[in-house]
């Protein structure tokens, strides 16, 4: 068996096109979605991520407001900026790029964001709503993974799904989304025993670990849908580096039913979902809670 490769780039482009079309419609009502992006320090990876986010926001007709702050910025200063952005009518989404410098209380900064503008979906109010099955802003990466799973598995009810990783930004919300879609969900982590055995039973595997080749190809159930969230930079053997996921891609290709590549799988979906969340925050802010939002699908 050779797995179908799920083309995250193409799916993300389709979603961005839908976001841009809705943004254009809103512009006729003089509504322009606005995203404030807060970047603290000079971390090169964060600069790249923020650059992609603002470029793609612009292409989708979303206005962005960039706040680049020195690494010396403290928690109180950041909270004060967040409060200022909370009060602005032209800002519908606030993105604080993580990780923040170690000296900053990240949890306090994220908690200060108005849940209505929390387009990353990290605020306790949104996490709580998601867990209760209420309408919530869903974190971008797991939402992107769900969209990719639906590409190849429109009917998920009753499927055995395994989420490897229990972080607040990927693993836990991913498990909630799969549960909402009527999967039977197992969450694994670093203390899980017999991960290969659990993998062998799972029809859907989402790997969000942060370790290259943590999931071997021959652990997988034949035909499984594999979503590889991991982004790991490793030496490519010729003095350069390359990005790989958490799953042994070559091994998994021979066994899975469908798999996302790294790069070109989950990564592009994360940004597309950020744009979707920003658009929907603007719709709610201007047209009310009952207005029709743009569906992720």
Please say which residue, 2 or 192, places its beta carbon nearer to ligand NDP.
192
By C-beta, is 3 or 273 nearer to ligand NDP?
273
The total of other beta-carbon atoms located within 10 Å of residue 237's CB is 7
213 is catalytic: no
Question: What radius of gyration, in Å, describes the C-alpha atoms of the chain?
Answer: 19
53 among known catalytic residues: yes
Of 71-79, 112-120, 146-154, 265-273, the window that binds ligand NDP (rule: CB under 6 A) is 265-273
CA neighbor of 130 nearest in space, from 140, 138, 122: 138
Measured N-to-C along each axis, helices 266-287 and 140-152 cross at an angle, to the nearest 10 degrees, of 110
Does the footprint of ligand NDP cover residue 206 (CB under 6 A)? no
Query: What is the rounded end-to-end Cα distance, in angstroms, of the chain?
Result: 28
220 binding ligand NDP? (CB under 6 A): no
Q: Which of 97, 117, 176, 228 is catalytic?
A: 97
Determine the distance from the C-alpha atom of residue 6 to the mean position of all C-alpha atoms in its chain, rounded to a whole number.
16
Catalytic member of 56, 117, 118, 120: 120
The yes or no reply on residue 231 touching ligand NDP (CB under 6 A) is: yes
Q: Tell me if residue 216 falls in helix, strand or coil.
A: coil
In contact, 149 and 227? CB cutoff 8 Å: yes
| 116 close to 281: Cβ distance less than 8 angstroms | yes
120 is catalytic: yes
Which residue minimizes CB distance to ligand NDP? 167
Residue with smaller CB distance to ligand NDP, 2 or 241:
241
**Rounded Cα–Cα distance for residues 265 and 281 (Å):** 25
Per-residue mark of binding to ligand NDP, 114-153 (x: CB under 6 A)? ---------------------------x------------
Q: What is the token pair recorded at 69?
A: 């702050």
Give least dist CB 172 to ligand NDP, A.
9
CB of 140 to ligand NDP, least distance (A): 7
Q: What are phi and psi of 14, to 5 degrees?
A: -60, -45
The answer, yes or no, to whether the previous bond of 14 is cis (omega within 30 of 0) is no
One symbol per residue from 159 to 198: x for binding ligand NDP (CB under 6 A), - otherwise; what is it? -----xxxx-xxx----------------xxxxx--x---
* Cα–Cα distance, 297 to 288 (Å, whole number): 22
Binders of ligand NDP in range 33-92 (CB under 6 A): none
Of 23 and 186, which has the nearer Cβ to ligand NDP?
186
- Least Å from the CB of residue 162 to ligand NDP: 10
Q: How far is the CB of 46 from ligand NDP (least distance, A)?
A: 12
* CA-to-CA separations, 164 to 139, 172, 192, 196, 242, in angstroms, rounded: 17, 10, 9, 11, 23
Distance of CA 180 to the CA centre of its chain: 17
Q: Which is nearer to ligand NDP, 100 or 283 (CB)?
A: 100
Which residues are catalytically annotated? 53, 97, 120
- Residues forming the site for ligand NDP (CB under 6 A): 141, 164-167, 169-171, 188-192, 195, 208-211, 214, 229-232, 266-267, 270
């Amino acid at each position: 068996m050779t797995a179908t490769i799920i083309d995250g780039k193409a799916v993300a482009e389709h979603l961005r096109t839908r976001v841009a079309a809705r943004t254009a419609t809103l512009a006729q009502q003089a509504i322009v979605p606005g995203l404030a992006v807060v970047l603290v320090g000079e971390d090169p990876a964060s600069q790249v991520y923020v650059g992609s986010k603002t470029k793609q926001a612009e292409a989708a007709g979303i206005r962005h407001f960039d706040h680049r702050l020195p690494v010396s910025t403290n928690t109180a200063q950041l909270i004060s900026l967040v409060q200022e952005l909370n009060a602005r009518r032209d800002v519908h989404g606030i993105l604080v790029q993580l990780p923040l410098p170690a000296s900053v209380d990240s949890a306090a900064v994220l908690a200060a964001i108005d849940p209505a503008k929390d387009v990353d979906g990290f605020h306790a109010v949104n996490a709580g709503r998601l867990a209760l099955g209420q309408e919530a802003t869903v974190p971008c990466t797991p939402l992107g993974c769900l969209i990719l799973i639906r590409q190849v598995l429109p009917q998920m009810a009753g499927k055995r799904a395994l989420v490897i990783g229990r972080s607040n930004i990927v693993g836990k919300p991913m498990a909630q989304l799969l549960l909402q879609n009527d999967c039977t969900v197992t969450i694994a982590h670093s203390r899980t025993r017999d991960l290969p055995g659990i993998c062998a039973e799972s029809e859907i595997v989402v790997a969000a670990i942060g370790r290259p080749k943590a999931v071997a190809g021959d652990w997988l159930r034949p035909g499984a849908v594999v979503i590889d969230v991991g982004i790991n930079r490793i030496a490519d053997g010729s003095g350069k580096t390359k990005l790989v996921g958490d799953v042994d891609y070559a091994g998994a290709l021979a066994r899975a039913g469908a798999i996302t590549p790294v790069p070109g799988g989950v990564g592009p979906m994360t940004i597309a979902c950020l744009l979707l969340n920003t658009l929907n925050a603007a719709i709610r802010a201007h047209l009310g809670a009952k207005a029709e939002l743009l569906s992720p699908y």
